[in-house]
């Protein structure tokens, strides 16, 4: 079977696993009796774990010049500890197994994105034609998980988690590895990349915009429950968010232009601001769930443009590590701040002021994006 077909299937299943873990972990912890602050503590600590494990596995992948074999190891361990996590109800076990899932599941994202981009380049197809299936998997499993938790109980997710992980393992087993760069891996190449002013400003932009996005991801389900919504509605919200990404990824070949990445990122940051500002004024949980369709104007546009921009400035031999740095900011460092600060802010400010605070951060990101666009892209025109 052609590599891109297998990779599309693996994207569907892996992002389906993320759909079980990212939006429903806070919901599951809440139903086990944890407070919002405790949930923030667990998710924030998971961010610290991600901060360590993503560079570790990215470095291992670059040094061994293989992504597929690393993914095989990570997927089997993620499946095991994911099952144990969603089958536990004691605080200490919940924290331990959650940290282990963070350790093995989250590093797969930048590795898979690197594989997606590399295979797309080699096959001369668009990155979005592969990544679309990840969005589809996230959407389908978000909706399905909401109903499964509602009708079969919250612990039923454990079986679904290990089933998806097992199928993912066998698909990855027959999936070919990515083409390997012939350029030798050198620390000087990585050092020059990370010390470049243009690179650092770009990573700062990603960080500023990702913190409010991760705050929303972490506490959206909690807020829907606070407004009177149920678990099915949480599933619907994330289904609409991920489902709206599909067409954006699929059409990325048409809208993503080289040399325009910073402009596209800035536009996406502005729509993050609009989305969160409107969220502050919604009191109907169903309307809040429906609003998540604005995801199509935010995350997929922002992240796809960021990946393309990153790959234009990172040394070829350090692509997996460069992708890890990007994911580390968007899902790791920002996740820590989003969870700790977000949990505190949600408790202190409640829903409306929380989202006004989040939208304000997105507005700052928009202004900074305009500044970078003017100094790096606009002046070239």
Task: Return the pLDDT at 184.
Answer: 46
Average pLDDT, the chain: 83
Is 30:149 a contact under the CB 8 Å cutoff?
A: no
Separation of alpha carbons 158 and 162, rounded Å? 6
Is 224:310 a contact under the CB 8 Å cutoff?
A: no
Question: What's the maximum distance between 2 C-alpha atoms anywhere in the chain?
Answer: 59
**pLDDT grade for 187, boundaries at 50, 70 and 90:** low
**pLDDT grade for 185, boundaries at 50, 70 and 90:** very low
Number of domains into which the chain is organized: 1
- Tell which wins on pLDDT, 296 or 23: 296
137 pLDDT above the threshold of 80: yes
pLDDT tens for residues 62-96? 777 778 888 999 999 999 999 999 888 888 898 89
Instruction: Work out the number of other CB atoms within 10 angstroms of the CB of residue 155.
Output: 15
Q: Which domain holds residue 85?
A: 3-380
182 pLDDT above the threshold of 50: no
CATH code at position 152: 1.20.1250.20
300 pLDDT above the threshold of 70: yes
Q: Whose structure tokens read 């690197």?
A: 114
Is 226:116 a contact under the CB 8 Å cutoff?
A: no
pLDDT tens for residues 330-348? 777 777 788 778 778 887 7
- C-alpha dihedral over 178, 183, 185, 187, to 10 degrees? -140
Give the whole-number percent of the chain exceeding pLDDT 70.
90
């Amino acid at each position: 079977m052609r590599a891109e077909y297998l990779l599309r299937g693996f994207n569907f299943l892996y992002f389906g696993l993320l759909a079980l873990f990212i939006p429903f972990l806070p919901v599951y912890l809440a139903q086990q009796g944890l407070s919002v602050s405790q949930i923030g503590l667990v998710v924030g600590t998971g961010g610290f774990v991600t901060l360590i494990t993503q560079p570790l596995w990215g470095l291992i992948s670059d040094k061994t010049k293989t992504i597929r074999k690393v993914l095989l190891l990570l997927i089997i361990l993620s499946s095991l500890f994911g099952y144990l996590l969603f089958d536990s109800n004691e605080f200490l076990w919940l924290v331990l197994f959650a940290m282990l899932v963070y350790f093995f599941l989250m590093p797969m994202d930048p590795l898979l994105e690197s594989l997606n981009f590399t295979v797309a380049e080699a096959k001369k197809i668009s990155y979005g034609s592969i990544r679309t299936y990840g969005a589809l998997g996230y959407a389908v499993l978000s909706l399905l998980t909401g109903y499964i938790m509602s009708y079969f109980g919250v612990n039923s997710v454990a079986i679904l988690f290990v089933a998806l992980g097992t199928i993912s393992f066998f698909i990855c087993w027959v999936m070919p590895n990515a083409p390997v760069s012939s350029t030798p891996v050198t620390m000087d190449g990585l050092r020059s990349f990370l010390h470049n002013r243009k690179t650092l400003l770009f990573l700062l932009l990603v960080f500023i915009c990702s913190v409010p996005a991760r705050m929303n991801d972490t506490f959206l389900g909690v807020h829907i429950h606070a407004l009177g919504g149920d678990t099915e509605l949480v599933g619907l919200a994330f289904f609409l968010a991920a489902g709206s990404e599909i067409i954006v990824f699929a059409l990325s070949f048409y809208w993503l232009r080289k040399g325009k990445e910073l402009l596209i990122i800035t536009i996406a940051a502005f729509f993050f601001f609009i989305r969160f500002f409107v969220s502050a004024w919604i009191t109907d949980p169903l309307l809040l769930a429906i609003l998540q369709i604005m995801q199509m104007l935010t995350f997929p546009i922002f992240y796809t443009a960021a990946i393309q921009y990153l790959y234009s400035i990172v040394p070829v031999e350090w692509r997996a590590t460069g992708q890890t740095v990007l994911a580390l900011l968007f899902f790791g460092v920002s996740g820590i701040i989003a969870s700790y600060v977000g949990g505190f802010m949600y408790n202190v400010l409640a829903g409306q002021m929380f989202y006004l605070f989040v939208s304000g951060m997105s507005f700052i990101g928009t202004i900074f994006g305009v500044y970078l666009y003017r100094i790096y892209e606009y002046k070239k025109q």
